[in-house]
Structure 1
Amino acid sequence: MKVDALKQRLSRERPMTTITIRMPEDVIEDLKRVAPLLGFSGYQPLARAYIGQGLRADLERLDGDTVSALVASLKRHGVSDEVLQEALSEVIQR
């Protein structure tokens, strides 16, 4: 994730929207029980944290899949492993 996007995600001033989601009652009760033990003010912030964690993991995985596909395509077009490693090193150092 790029630095600017990460800064936006960490901002407390991000706009919020209300949604309705149906969840089993026992899951809500477990969230209510666990939330204060993990330092959350309530079950809704904890649920948002869980959703955010899963979303970030999937976004990272999907972005990684794109990079892998690009590297494979470049190899098929004759780009050497040395050039690919050098380019990836430059990107990681940013």
Structure 2
Amino acid sequence: MKTTTERIQQRLQRPRKMTTISMRMPENVLEELKEIAPMLGFSGYQPLIRAYIGQGLRQDLTRLENSPVQILTESLRKQGIADEVISAAIAESGLKSA
């Protein structure tokens, strides 16, 4: 996992690199997103979805910060263990971050 400082530095980079994804969503949810996006000041439903995802992501990152798994991850990174190895070990062990 990245440190808080690394995450903040990435968020502050402009322009931020974007990538295209495809996801399935119930039609009525998409219709409602399209309907409320302008009411909330968004130019369309996609920026609104990005805002919702960003908000949830920031909440989870805050909740998980300084968890035992995060502290262990940082210690292993300092020991030179690759992030891919750490992530695989956490997934394999079934550890939860909070």
User: For this structure pair, what is the TM-score category when the shorter chain's length is used for normalisation?
Assistant: 0.5 to 0.7
Decide whether aligned partners of structure 1 residues 25 and 8 sit closer, same or farther in structure 2, where only a CA change above 3 A counts: same
Out of 47, 58, 80, the residue aligned to residue 45 of structure 1 is 47
List gaps (5 residues or longer) in structure 1.
71-94
Which protein is richer in helix relative to its size?
A: 1
Instruction: Give the number of the structure with larger relative contact order, counting CA–CA contacts within 8 Å between residues 6 or more apart.
Output: 2
**Secondary structure of 1:58 counterpart:** helix
List gaps (5 residues or longer) in structure 2.
73-98
Identity of paired residues, percent?
Answer: 63
TM-score, normalization by structure 1: 0.62
**Secondary structure of 1:32 counterpart:** helix
Decide whether aligned partners of structure 1 residues 37 and 7 sit closer, same or farther in structure 2, where only a CA change above 3 A counts: farther
| Bigger Rg, structure 1 or 2 | 1
CA deviations over 1:18-42 (Å, ceiling 9, x no partner): 0000000000011001100111000
Q: Distance in 1 between matches of 2:13 and 2:50?
A: 14
Alignment length, in residue pairs?
68
TM-score, normalization by structure 2: 0.59
Q: Distance in 1 between matches of 2:64 and 2:7?
A: 16
Q: Distance in 1 between matches of 2:14 and 2:36?
A: 23
> Could you tell me how far 1:5 is from its partner in structure 2?
3.3
| 1:5 pairs with 2:10 | no
